[in-house]
Chains A and B, each alone.
Chain A
Amino acid sequence: MKAIWSLLSLLTLGLAQGVPADWPDPFKMQFQRLQPAAIQPTRVQLSNGLTVLLIEDRALPFVSGRVYLRAGAIYEPDDKVGLSGIFSSVLRTGGAGERTPDQVDETLETLAATVSVSTDNLFTSVAFNTLTENLDQVLQIWADVLVRPRFAQERLDLEKGRALEAIRRRNDQPTQIAVREFVRRINEGHPAGRISSAASIQSITRDDLLAFHQRFFKPNGAVLAITGDFNTQEMVARLERVLQGWQQGPVSLPTFAPPSPKPGIYFLQKEANQSVIYMGNPTVTAFAPGYSELDLASRVLGDGFNSRLFVEVRTRRGLAYATGGAQSQGFGWPGFFYGASISRVEKTAEVIELMLAQFRDLRERPVSQEELELFRNNILNAEVFRFTSKQAVAERIARTQMLGLPPDYYEQYIRQIQAITPADLQRVVQQYVRPEQFVIVVVGDKRQFDRPLQSLGKVVEVPLE
């Protein structure tokens, strides 16, 4: 009887909800956690000391590679901020080996191949991508760019001119201003908190580029990740050949004191009908003790549709389209725990208070077990996506080595994530997240604010530059 009754109620329930009765409740569907099959690259050291990680993948007729070098923005001299950016542009575009700038471009584009250079705070990387058939030619150009760049003066002048124009345009969008100012203020006292100026760009000379190359581009300490359609042994022989003449040398890197930001509200006036708000404080370096808890807590705070900032600011109140937060990954110096919103200007103070309340709540009350499980499950179940591209796997392992992380850092992180309780999370948040110490950056039109920012704390007015 009971069974029949429950069957009937299920049927009515099913029909009332518009789906066939035998469809499962999606919230009760159970799935196994898929474990990714780890991909291990072959590791080889070339005669010049360069570490090479190789993964053969014969499915498609492409070869990709990227070499990482310890040559990032934090190593620029104080009066030459912007040098690493200009350096990486001109490394690629200034000619290399036997080829003029135009010849490099012509050859690559005719072969529909790419050689590209990117740079961030810590590393510069030189990458290539080509059809297998053109491998020899493209590998030669890649090696020339890496080892034998020409840094043609006219291309340096061109890139400096473009950088100056980009500076002229860097106050065009409110979000761009807010991100720049927040990164600058939260890293104050550390080279990562510097920004370029017209003067720093103008001062850059060809000798600066040569010196930067000379100082940082050494095979020892660098790691190359290479994947695709090749035979490993043949590839190693090829690399030995094209990198001939690239010599080892000592690389000494300066160390820096961690950032010491000054808490407060930094306001920049910009005519717009929305305000861009960023807030947060530095915490710990990535994968250091406390990082896993902060990472999970920051997801509860600001990762996606079911995070607190999203639900409170966007879903329930319609106060923003873009809102969220995260724990940034800091390597070498602490990352920061932060939140951001882009909200209508006449609600600026209200949104700042609403956001601050979410941070305080994370400190004051343990998160619910359901919330914690949601974001924990997301991390655990998404692990398979770390292995969808062999090149991405090889590059990640290369960076892991460059950063000095243990090879099993991610497995350790996963184990920690699995063990975190609401009490752990609250304890670590209380230790590291301090709303009263926040750097808060607001970009907007103060004439339209709901309340003066001074009602929220000490305000520093920063002129746009």
Chain B
Amino acid sequence: MRRMVWLLLLVLLLPGAMAQQLREQIRKYTLDNGLRVLMVPDKTAPVIHFNLMFDVGGVDEAPGLGGIAHMVEHMAFKGTPSIGSLDWAKEKAALEAIDKARAELDRAIANRASQEEIQRLTARFNEAREEAKKLALPNAIDQLFTNNGEQGLNASTGYDRTDYRVSLPSNRLELYLRVYADVLMNAVFRSFYEEADVVLEERRQRSENDPNGALSEAFLRAAFQVHPYGRPLIGSREEIQGYRVDKALEFWKTHYHPNRAVLVLVGDVEPERDIQLVRRYMGAIPRGPERPSLNIPAEPPQTAERRVSIEYNAQPSLLIGFHKPTYPNREAYVMDMIDSILTEGRTSRLFRRLVIQEQAALNVSASSASPGFRYPNLFTISAQPRAPRTTQDLERLIYEELERLKNEPVSPQELQKVRNQTRAAYLRVLQGGPGLAQALAFYELFFGGYQRIFEEEAIYNTITAEEIQQAARKYFTPQNRTVATLITRGGSR
């Protein structure tokens, strides 16, 4: 046993130097327009991993415009006047003709015009779209990057943030800057209505035909009755069908500014040289307004258990959530530790109990910060029963384990194991690549500076068994709980 403790100490002490070395290599610059730029030299290969992150997401949407942040993320790939147009003067006129035709069609529908009139206006709207398509090069941004060997060109929208990612050979730095500076100044939302149809397909694929997506949507709606975390991130079907170019552009112009973004470059960079190029391009973007105060309503404290179920053409599944505070509140870090105790690895409490000992579940997983992190959020536990065991069986077992967490302090060994796991996960992020770029952007934008990534470990290391017990008692209560169940259609739970 003594030997074990000694080994554990070593795990903790050794890799500190690595984190320190990385920390010293990171360079941060702030441009006059407010854009923060982080550069992390890593000479492993002649490539750069880019992450451009904005502090805008689903929570920033006005009611009725659900999913517009995600739609705008798609539209940011559509190019600019100088990227993707065959003749900008003509295309501009053609895009205006689409807007006009769409507005006339909307008016006719609102005024309950005759079927023929609506058909006529629909045909005109479709013709205008076809005309505009003839004047554009589809997917020109992607073409530029594909031609230059891109890897991982993508973007993602969350409730709190949106990020744009790509990796390129390192000598394409200027191309990247030329493209994204232009996009931020001059984005053209071409092929907008075709893209809205694409998003509808994405919604069908992710939220309607995927049992996990369908369950998650019902679950969040029940757990958040006021806060926008309860709305589907991709928008409802009706909202997506209602998207119009002017509203999307308004959202874009309100939020997408250099002073609300962080650009991270990880890879073969020379900061003092490369920042000149970054300044030349990204520095040309005008500063925009700060984030508007949106009066996002706080979710009132939950006072009674909420239960929701969906009937679905799939095998049963269970999703449980408890409201909790978010970072930098210390209890949020305590809940991260609880997440590891419950579900990290085969020796975690829920995996061992539900999957190995009771053979009641196919799998069990948890998240300590769902579905966002900027506002108070949820600790969630998800599990799939193994027939003939049911979701009720799993609920009972999970609650027993949560009670144990409340009633018995976690042993020093278990606590140390979880600290080691947290540390190893952290060190793996620091190894570089697109993951490091994203993590640094995230910490710089939301957690008060990228340096915080190096400081959080100290927080985890000081969390005590008493704090874990207290947090479990405080948050794992029936009245703070939302339970969503997928019931097999025509079957049992």
Q: Which residues of A pack against B, CB within 8 Å? A: 16-20, 23-27, 29, 31-32, 34, 36, 60-62, 93, 102, 105-106, 109-113, 131-134, 137, 158, 161-162, 165-166, 168-169, 172-175, 270-274, 304-306, 310-311, 314-322, 342-344, 373-375, 377-378, 380-385, 387-390
Contacts and interface: CB of A to CB of B under 8 A. Distances in A.
A387 to B, nearest CB: 5
B149 A383 contact: yes
B198 interface: yes
Given A23-B281, A131-B424, A378-B147, A169 B11 contact: no
Contacts of B77: 305
Contacts of B433: 388-389
A32 B7 CA distance: 50
A316 B45 contact: no
A112 B421 contact: yes
Contact of A305 (B146, B172, B175, B281): B146
B232 to A, nearest CB: 15
Contacts of A273: 204, 208-209
B423 A112 contact: yes
A320 B206 CA distance: 12
B139 A36 contact: no
Interface string B38-74: 0000001111000000000000000000000000000
A19 B82 contact: yes
Contact of A31 (B81, B148, B179): B148
A381 B209 contact: no
Contacts of B356: 158
Contact of A315 (B139, B175, B210): B139
B387 A168 contact: yes
B314 interface: yes
A31 B175 contact: yes
A26 B186 CA distance: 15
Contact of B178 (A24, A61, A102, A168): A24
Contacts, number: 243
A17 B148 contact: no
A310 B186 contact: no
B84 to A, nearest CB: 10
Contact of B347 (A109, A343, A373): A109
Nearest to B171: A31
Given A131-B11, A172-B211, 20 more contacts: A23-B281, A24-B174, A26-B82, A31-B148, A34-B46, A61-B14, A109-B344, A109-B345, A110-B420, A112-B11, A113-B424, A133-B14, A169-B314, A173-B314, A305-B138, A306-B139, A315-B194, A320-B198, A374-B143, A378-B149
A343 B200 CA distance: 10
Nearest to A299: B146
Given A110-B4, A169-B384, A173-B210, A105 B345 contact: yes
A19 B182 contact: yes
Contacts of B281: 23
Contacts of B314: 169, 172-173
B201 A318 contact: yes
A26 B175 contact: yes
A112 B424 contact: yes
A173 B45 contact: no
B156 interface: no
A60 to B, nearest CB: 6
Contacts of A271: 313
A319 B201 contact: yes
Contacts of B471: none
Given A17-B80, A271-B313, A343-B201, A388 B424 contact: no
B199 interface: yes
A378 B150 contact: yes
A106 B44 contact: no
Nearest to B195: A318
A446 to B, nearest CB: 15
B287 interface: no
Contacts of A158: 355-356, 359
Interface string B73-89: 00001001111000011
Contacts of B362: 162, 165-166, 169
B455 to A, nearest CB: 20
B485 interface: no
B93 to A, nearest CB: 13
Interface string B408-433: 00000100110011011101000101
B473 interface: no
Interface in B174-198: 174-175, 178-179, 181-182, 185-186, 191, 193-198
Nearest to B345: A109
16 contacts: A17-B80, A18-B182, A25-B82, A27-B83, A34-B46, A60-B431, A110-B413, A133-B10, A172-B314, A305-B142, A322-B205, A378-B147, A381-B169, A385-B47, A388-B44, A389-B433
Contacts of B15: 60-61, 131
B204 A388 contact: no
A292 to B, nearest CB: 17
Nearest to A29: B175
Nearest to A31: B171
State the 3 A-B residue pairs at the shortest beta-carbon distance, nearest first.
Answer: A381-B149, A318-B197, A112-B424
A161 B83 contact: no
Nearest to B10: A133
A377 B423 contact: no
B151 interface: yes
A249 B430 CA distance: 42
A31 B171 CA distance: 7
Nearest to A386: B45
B8 interface: yes
B238 interface: no
Interface in B110-144: 133, 138-139, 142-144
Interface string B344-375: 11110000000110010010000000000000
B73 to A, nearest CB: 13
B170 interface: yes
Nearest to A20: B284
Contacts of A310: 139
B142 A36 contact: no
B221 interface: no
Nearest to B313: A271
Contacts of A373: 147
Contacts of A111: 7, 11, 420
Nearest to B182: A19
A401 B359 CA distance: 41
Given A131-B14, A318-B195, A377 B149 contact: yes
A416 B469 CA distance: 64
B315 interface: yes
A19 B80 CA distance: 10
A316 B194 contact: yes
Contacts of B185: 18-19
